[in-house]
């Protein structure tokens, strides 16, 4: 089965937040994405709420529950106590833990699974006890996959930023794709499922999906939102689904 598509709403929320107005509507565009076939919605509610606001979360949860019950809600963020409380309140199907500093513009690296295991393991245990699927943001590093598994997580999310950044250099992109593929192979061998996200676009998704045929999910925000300015949300979701192999 091709990778499922989760639409990250952060870029839409950031555009909305430029004015004290309710548009563009995060919920309205999330609805359009799901109606067009997206399998879920992703948000990263940062402490300063510069993108998704905490007040968006109950509305997204209600949208999925009331109108798209087969879709999934994925909340990602640094596992502070405040973040964990948000997760437990709004009950996403998946929680993606990222090692972000609150001041970072965007996620730009994965966990060091060996060094961070004492921190991550009790958090993963708490989330799993609450019934959440847990995914851990990961660099392209095959050697860390056993340590990632030993935290108790269900999945990793491959950080594909370097792959996406080589959009004009096919040789470097191929080299990065090989690293991602080897990391996915190691993760799958360790019993983890594999997600991916960051700077994925219609042009580079097919090669990723071909190299990692067991890819479970891609979470895409910036590139998808940029395309939606040209093709509309529904048309863009269709393009990205096709690039994933649907």
Cβ 132 vs Cβ 72: under 8 Å: no
- Catalytic residue chosen out of the listed positions 72, 76, 157, 217: 76
Strands 72-77 and 94-97: parallel
- Catalytic residue chosen out of the listed positions 44, 51, 72, 217: 44
| 90 among known catalytic residues | no
Q: How far apart are CA 210 and CA 99, in angstroms?
A: 28
Alpha helices in 17-55 (DSSP H): 26-35
Task: Assign 19 to helix, strand or coil.
Answer: coil
| Bond preceding residue 85 cis, omega within 30 of 0 | no
Q: Where are the beta strands (DSSP E) in the chain?
A: 4-8, 40-43, 72-77, 94-97, 133-138, 155-159, 193-197, 217-220
Cβ 242 vs Cβ 224: under 8 Å: no
Distance in Å from the first CA to the final CA of the chain: 8
Cβ 26 vs Cβ 16: under 8 Å: yes
| 109 among known catalytic residues | no
| 44 among known catalytic residues | yes
The CA-CA-CA angle for residues 193, 199, 203, to 5°, reads 95
Both tokens of 186, joined, read 């190691």
Nearest to 142 by CA among 110, 109, 187, 96: 187
Enumerate the active-site residues.
Answer: 44, 76, 198
């Amino acid at each position: 089965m091709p990778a499922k598509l989760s639409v990250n709403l952060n870029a839409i929320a950031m555009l909305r937040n430029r004015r004290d107005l309710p548009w563009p509507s995060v919920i309205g565009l999330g609805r359009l994405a799901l109606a067009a076939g997206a399998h879920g919605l992703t948000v990263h509610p940062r402490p300063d709420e510069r993108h998704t606001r905490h007040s968006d979360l109950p509305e997204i949860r209600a949208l999925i529950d009331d109108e798209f019950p087969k879709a999934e809600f994925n909340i990602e963020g640094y596992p502070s106590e405040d973040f964990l409380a948000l997760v437990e309140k709004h009950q996403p199907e998946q929680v993606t833990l990222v090692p972000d500093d609150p001041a970072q513009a965007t996620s730009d690296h994965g966990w060091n699974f060996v060094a961070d295991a004492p921190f991550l393991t009790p958090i993963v245990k708490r989330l799993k006890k609450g019934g959440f699927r847990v995914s851990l943001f990961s660099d392209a590093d095959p050697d860390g996959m056993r340590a990632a598994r030993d935290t108790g997580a269900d999945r990793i999310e491959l950080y594909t930023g370097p792959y996406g950044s080589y959009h004009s250099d096919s040789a470097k992109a191929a080299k990065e794709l090989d690293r991602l593929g080897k990391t996915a192979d190691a993760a799958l061998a360790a019993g983890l499922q594999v997600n991916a996200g960051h700077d994925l676009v219609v042009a580079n998704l097919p090669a990723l999906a071909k190299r990692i045929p067991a890819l479970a999910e891609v979470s895409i925000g910036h590139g998808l939102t940029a395309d939606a300015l040209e093709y509309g949300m529904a048309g863009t979701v269709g393009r990205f689904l096709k690039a994933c192999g649907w």
